[in-house]
Amino acid sequence: MAEYQRILSNIHDRLKVLTKGLYDIDENTELVGHLNLESLQIMELILDIEDHFDVAIPISMLSDVRTVKDLVVKIEKLTRGEK
């Protein structure tokens, strides 16, 4: 669970910067629905996350990601070597 919290904190901080602090962000926040992120912003976020955590996120994996929690769970699995 400590790894989950570390990833959550990192993504939360990145989203705060990306959205200029305009939104309250928690695990249930929808990346597109609540934060109004455009596809280019999401790709920028994904590239930053890949660089930071040294993982490759398959595009096919992103189709299941709606919320911050969904993204954190996917990143956590990738950092453990799962797919």
| DSSP string computed for 40-81 | HHHHHHHHHHHHHHT----HHHHTT--BHHHHHHHHHHHHTT
* pLDDT tens digits for range 43-78: 999 999 999 999 999 989 888 999 999 999 999 999
Instruction: Say what the pLDDT of residue 74 is.
Output: 95
Q: Against a cut of 0.95, is the pTM above it?
A: no
C-alpha–C-alpha distance, residues 58 and 9, integer Å: 22
| Domain 2-79 CATH (choose: 2.40.50.140, 1.10.3720.10, 1.10.1200.10, 3.40.605.10) | 1.10.1200.10
Q: Ramachandran region of residue 78, left (φ > 0), alpha (ψ -120 to 50) or beta?
A: alpha
Domain boundaries, the chain: 2-79
Q: Identify which of 68, 75, 74, 71 has the alpha carbon closest to the alpha carbon of residue 16.
A: 68
